[in-house]
Amino acid sequence: MTLSNADLAVLGLTVAVGGLYVFRGNLFNNGSASSSRPLPGAKPAAGADPGVDPRDFVAKMKAAKKRLVIFYGSQTGTAEEYAIRLAKEAKSRFGLGSLVCDPEEYDFENLDELPEDCAAIFVMATY
């Protein structure tokens, strides 16, 4: 029995949502000061902290006190829209501040420096 692409997508989404549910106490800390800030877009803000490397997403997360980073990979904008919807859902349901990023704009040499109380989600669109 082989699994179709749709089956694999549903299975992956189920595992991701289940993981978020299981670790919600560690990932989603209520009472966060970032809950009153607006969601950032995919592009860096014009008034970004000048002391932070613009390609270091871990430093940006720490500076903005975000606990979730969502990377999207899309040529048509589908994954970007979905990543923004995920960030809004995390904000509204769990009060979790998120950083939505295009992976082409960041270096991943420091991915292992992501704090244990933070999470990274990768949303990629395929043909």
In the CATH hierarchy, which fold is given to the domain comprising 5-34+53-124? Rossmann fold (3.40.50)
Is-contact 13 82, C-beta < 8 A? no
pLDDT tier at 30, thresholds 50, 70, 90: low
Report the number of secondary-structure helices (H) and strands (E) in the chain: 4, 3
Q: 32 pLDDT exceeds 50?
A: no
Average pLDDT, the chain: 81
CA 119 to chain centre: 7
Two tokens, residue 91: 């904000």
Q: 35 pLDDT exceeds 50?
A: no
What are the residue ranges spanned by the domains of the chain? 5-34+53-124
**Helix ranges restricted to H, 23-77:** 24-27, 57-64
pLDDT tier at 74, thresholds 50, 70, 90: confident
Q: 92 pLDDT exceeds 70?
A: yes
Distances (CA, A) of 6 to 11, 12, 80, 84, 121: 8, 10, 20, 22, 19
